[in-house]
Amino acid sequence: MTTTDNGMTSNFDLIGREDINDLEAILSITNTERDAVISTVKDNADAIFTWDYEKGARPKLNRLYEKAKNSMWNGETDLPWDTEVDQEQVVLANAGNNVNPNMDVTGTPFAKWSDKEWVQFGIESQNWTLSQFMHGEQGALICTAKIVETVPWIDAKYYASTQVMDEARHVEVFAKYLDTKLSGHYPVNAHLKMLLDDIINDSRWDMTYLGMQIMVEGLALAAFGFIQQLTTEPLLKQLLKYVMSDEARHVAFGVLSLQEYYTELTAAELRERQEFAFEAAVRMRDRFLQQEVFDRMGIDPKVAVPLVMQAPERAMFQAMLFSKIVPNCKKLGLLDAADGWLRTKFQELGVIQFEDWADTGEEYEMFQLAEGEITSQRGA
């Protein structure tokens, strides 16, 4: 591991390049196992037993556990799977019947596209986006099972066990939606796979929390909210509402657990967590470039991605993905530890403006109301 002149670990060591916006380097990372069905990752963690069974020693975690037990839903029977989904019409409706993006495509391969190609691009983008969420949910399934094994507190083990069931349900419903209502799924994006591998590979239980509960789940919660508001498709809208009610609990679980633990860490240990959070943030941002979609549409991603990134709505979407992550990192004390190192990195990423937004611990009250509505709908 090398350091810069001021003693800081370099971007190259953390993410494999010095310039976080180096598109050529980002696009050079591809999934070399996209046709594989099984992928194996080394899990270096120790399984921890605790013989202290005192329930409620951490009251906030215990309340989450009780809430989780009462909020389970059945992905097979609680969603209206008989809903007809016309994917082409969904794309047109979501785009306001104007599928051409707000960008100058003169002299580019996109200039030859008619509305037919733009609609197909919208279909592929939806397939790709939901596919990556599905793969991320499997990552959460594995990571939460790891948390059950590795966290030393019984209240956390109890809660994490409920999240394992939640994540299995999320994988199930995304897979069913993609394969029965849309037109199939994409392999996992290389940047997402690298991040999931890093989270699973790390031996420290709190890094599993940080990588999955705070970073991956935090981004998913923001993205699900964005798509849930945008989509006109009623089945997906309801599916995402159910998933979001679970995800808010999951992120709150991470905030509550790490907030206590991080008060015990040294400055050097906190710095390692900051670096891990930054690396995770970059990997997640990079995965949203959709290079696999452009490959399938027959356009070189190195040509397509810079053009698509010019669209104003694209920049807004990418920034909004961090609207949950940044305030949660602030609540954990990670923004300003080590002389504000992570604050500086989030400024480089262009997302620091979200630091004073509600963290998920505060925001969870809103999702509890949504959970109550879901429960009443199921009861009816």
160-184 pLDDT, tens digit per residue, is 999 999 999 999 999 999 999 999 8
Q: In 226-260, which positions are buried (b, 16+ CB within 10 angstroms) versus exposed (e)?
A: bbbeebebebbebbbbbbbbbbbbbbbbbbbbbbe
Report d(CA 172, CA 367) in Å as an integer.
22
Helices (H), 190-290: 190-201, 205-208, 217-230, 234-262, 267-287
Which two three-digit tokens encode residue 378? 């199921």
Minimal CA–CA distance to 158: which of 247, 262, 46, 257?
257
Model confidence at 252, pLDDT cuts 50, 70, 90, reads: very high
Minimal CA–CA distance to 214: which of 199, 227, 224?
199
% pLDDT > 70, the chain: 91
Model confidence at 5, pLDDT cuts 50, 70, 90, reads: very low
353: left (phi over 0), alpha (psi -120 to 50) or beta: alpha
Report d(CA 281, CA 350) in Å as an integer.
11
Say how many C-beta atoms besides its own lie within 10 A of residue 372's C-beta. Answer: 13
> How confident is the model over 5-22, as a mean pLDDT?
82
Q: What is the architecture, at CATH level 2, of domain 84-374?
A: Up-down Bundle (1.20)
Domain residue ranges of the chain, discontinuous segments joined by +: 84-374
56: left (phi over 0), alpha (psi -120 to 50) or beta: left
Distances 262 to 75, 272, 273, 309 between C-alpha atoms, Å: 36, 12, 9, 37
Total length of the chain? 380
Whether the CB-CB separation of 10 and 18 falls below 8 Å is answered with yes
**Residue 263 host element (H or E):** none
> How confident is the model over 228-257, as a mean pLDDT?
94
298-346 pLDDT, tens digit per residue, is 999 999 988 887 777 777 787 888 999 999 999 999 999 988 999 999 9
CA atoms within 13 A of residue 286's CA, in its CB half-sphere: 28
Long-range Cβ contact pairs of 93-97 (< 8 A, separation 24 or more): 93/232, 93/233, 94/122, 94/230, 94/231, 94/232, 95/122
- DSSP code of residue 78: S
Average pLDDT over the chain reads 89
Whether the CB-CB separation of 166 and 246 falls below 8 Å is answered with yes
Report d(CA 203, CA 177) in Å as an integer.
34
Coil vs helix vs strand at 295: helix
Residue 35 has pLDDT above 80, yes or no: no
Residue 8 has pLDDT above 70, yes or no: no
Query: C-alpha angle with apex 141: 367 to 168, nearest 5 degrees?
Result: 75
Which two three-digit tokens encode residue 220? 């998913």
**Residue 298 host element (H or E):** none
Lowest-pLDDT choice from 7-11, 203-207, 324-328, 353-357: 7-11
Say how many C-beta atoms besides its own lie within 10 A of residue 183's C-beta. Answer: 11
- Rg of the chain (C-alpha set): 21
Locus of tokens 């979407």: 317
Residue 97 has pLDDT above 90, yes or no: no
Who's near 259: CB < 8 A, 6+ residues apart?
A: 331, 332
φ/ψ of residue 203, rounded to 5: -80, -15
